[in-house]
């Protein structure tokens, strides 16, 4: 009985020594399963009472949150990505040329989307704008070149062949009052403002091709800027002068039978004759109506451009620009002829708007009917004054 008891005691003392000499678990690997000393008592750990633990891995204390699950060897399934927005493309849609053709057939324009309260900004392609650009860049240049340069060429040729038109027999030295101070002041206001308007307007059409290469970009920019300011503000003086001119001279510029005779005779410019005429001959009446009617249309169309979108839309403003430009260059050509006749082209003509008094011989040659009217009025005035003095003396 003593030998078995001694063997059991020796085994109990040898077990802890064997545990102390066992090799450690490999790093990063699974702990090696061993048979530790039995635990006594019930309720110890997760094992039944009296059973040894299955591993030497430290146990999680009671009440600690569970650790994140260790990923297995199979990769996790990725979450489906959000669908990408469709690319911005015009594939499958009609191109701009087709849209423009459709709009032109429908009489409209191509428009886009805007976020500002200006419906004009939505216009992307306006078919009428192409016609306006062709007029401004090509047609207007041809009209202006023919009207201005053609008139200058005709006047130069006329002066070279005919010279200055002289008064037959020379000037008499006696004068008649032709235009009073108000008429002359209004005439020069219209004339001076028109000259500035014509020069600044021609600069918009021909300045980039003629003036810019000569004076350079900086000077051309300054000239164009101040020219625009002068063009805008002097238009009011020009318009006011036209209205006053209409009130002062409309009665004397009504066409009549005598004007047809003057036109058939060519005004006497070719054969040196002097057809009868009233205060204004047919040529001067033509200049008057060109100034009043043409200048009125030029002023009205110019104000449409000066105050954009106040009266009409962009299509109406393009039409106003066409009227404004075409009439302006045609008027410039006509005024060149008027300036020539009133200055170097005819002897004694400048005095009418210079001092207001013209020589009697000049007036008799070019405005014989008007001279007769003035002499009749003067005789009547002298006669009435003489009768009054006679009555007062009696």
- What per-residue confidence (pLDDT) applies to 388? 37
- What per-residue confidence (pLDDT) applies to 84? 65
* Rounded mean pLDDT, 50-65: 56
- What per-residue confidence (pLDDT) applies to 9? 56
How many CA atoms does the CB half-sphere of 37 hold within 13 Å? 12
Task: Classify residue 40: in a domain, yes or no.
Answer: no
Residue % of the chain over a pLDDT of 70: 66
Confidence band of 268 (pLDDT split at 50, 70, 90) = confident
Residue % of the chain over a pLDDT of 90: 48
| Nearest Cα to Cα of residue 193 among 245, 236, 248 | 236
Higher local confidence (pLDDT), 81 or 359: 359
Task: Classify residue 233: in a domain, yes or no.
Answer: yes
Task: Classify residue 237: in a domain, yes or no.
Answer: yes
Task: Classify residue 2: in a domain, yes or no.
Answer: no
Does pLDDT of 43 surpass 50?
Answer: no
Q: Tokens 């109990």: give the residue.
A: 12
CB-count burial class (<10 Å; 0-12, 13-18, 19+) for 75: exposed
Q: Is residue 356 a contact partner of residue 178, using CB atoms and an 8 Å limit?
A: yes
Higher local confidence (pLDDT), 282 or 27: 282
Confidence band of 314 (pLDDT split at 50, 70, 90) = confident
The contacts of residue 370 (CB under 8 Å, 6+ apart) are 277, 278, 279, 363
Does pLDDT of 51 surpass 80?
Answer: no
**Whole-number mean pLDDT of the chain?**
80
- What per-residue confidence (pLDDT) applies to 170? 86
| Nearest Cα to Cα of residue 359 among 367, 281, 188, 253 | 367
Higher local confidence (pLDDT), 20 or 115: 115
3-state class of 82 per DSSP?
coil
Q: pLDDT tens, 164-180? A: 988 888 888 899 999 99
- CA 394/CA 391 separation, integer angstroms: 5
Number of folded domains in the chain? Answer: 1
| Nearest Cα to Cα of residue 107 among 264, 303, 315, 305 | 315
Confidence band of 72 (pLDDT split at 50, 70, 90) = low
Task: Classify residue 25: in a domain, yes or no.
Answer: no
The domain of 283 spans: 164-375
- What per-residue confidence (pLDDT) applies to 115? 76
Confidence band of 19 (pLDDT split at 50, 70, 90) = very low
CATH of the domain at 307: 1.20.950.20
Q: pLDDT tens, 202-213? A: 998 899 989 999
Supply the DSSP symbol for 139: I
- What per-residue confidence (pLDDT) applies to 105? 60
The distance of Cα 313 from the centroid of its chain, to the nearest Å, equals: 13
- What per-residue confidence (pLDDT) applies to 92? 62
- CA 310/CA 93 separation, integer angstroms: 37
3-state class of 357 per DSSP?
strand
261-270, 345-354, 367-376: least confident range = 261-270
Task: Classify residue 144: in a domain, yes or no.
Answer: no
- What per-residue confidence (pLDDT) applies to 131? 83
- What per-residue confidence (pLDDT) applies to 90? 57
Task: Classify residue 340: in a domain, yes or no.
Answer: yes
Confidence band of 88 (pLDDT split at 50, 70, 90) = low
Task: Classify residue 170: in a domain, yes or no.
Answer: yes
8-12, 30-34, 155-159, 289-293: least confident range = 30-34
Tokens of 146: 């023919």
Q: Is residue 283 a contact partner of residue 267, using CB atoms and an 8 Å limit?
A: yes
């Amino acid at each position: 009985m003593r030998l078995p008891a001694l063997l059991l005691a020796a085994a109990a003392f040898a077990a802890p020594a064997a545990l102390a000499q066992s090799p450690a678990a490999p790093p990063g690997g699974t702990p090696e399963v061993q048979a530790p000393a039995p635990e006594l008592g019930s309720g110890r750990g997760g094992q039944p009472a009296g059973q040894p633990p299955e591993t030497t891995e430290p146990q999680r204390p009671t009440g600690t949150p569970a650790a994140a699950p260790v990923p297995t060897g199979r990769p996790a399934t990725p979450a489906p990505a959000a669908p990408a927005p469709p690319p911005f493309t015009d594939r499958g849609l009609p191109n701009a040329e087709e849209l423009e053709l459709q709009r032109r057939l429908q009489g409209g324009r191509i428009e886009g989307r805007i976020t500002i309260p200006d419906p004009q900004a939505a216009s992307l392609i306006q078919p009428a704008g192409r016609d306006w650009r062709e007029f401004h860049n090509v047609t207007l240049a041809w009209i202006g070149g023919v009207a201005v340069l053609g008139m200058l060429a005709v006047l130069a040729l006329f002066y070279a062949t005919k010279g200055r038109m002289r008064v037959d027999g020379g000037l008499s030295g006696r004068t008649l009052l032709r235009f009073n101070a108000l008429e002359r002041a209004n005439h020069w206001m219209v004339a001076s403002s028109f000259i500035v308007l014509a020069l600044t307007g021609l600069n918009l059409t021909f300045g980039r091709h003629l003036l810019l290469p000569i004076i350079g970009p900086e000077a051309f920019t300054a000239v164009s800027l101040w020219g625009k300011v002068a063009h805008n503000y002097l238009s009011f003086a020009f318009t006011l002068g036209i209205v006053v001119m209409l009130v002062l001279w409309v009665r004397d510029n009504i066409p009549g039978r005598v004007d047809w005779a003057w036109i058939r005779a060519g005004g006497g410019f070719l054969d040196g004759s002097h057809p009868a005429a009233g205060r204004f001959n047919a040529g001067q009446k033509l200049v008057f109506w060109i100034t009043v009617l043409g200048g009125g249309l030029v002023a009205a169309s110019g104000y449409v451009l000066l105050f954009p979108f106040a009266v009409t839309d962009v299509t109406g403003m393009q039409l106003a620009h066409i009227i404004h430009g075409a009439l302006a260059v045609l008027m410039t050509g006509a005024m060149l002829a008027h300036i020539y006749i009133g200055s170097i082209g005819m002897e004694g003509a400048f005095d009418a708007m210079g001092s207001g008094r013209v020589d009697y011989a000049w007036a008799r040659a070019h405005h014989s009917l008007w001279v007769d009217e003035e002499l009749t009025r003067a005789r009547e005035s002298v006669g009435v004054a003489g009768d009054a003095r006679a009555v007062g003396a009696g």
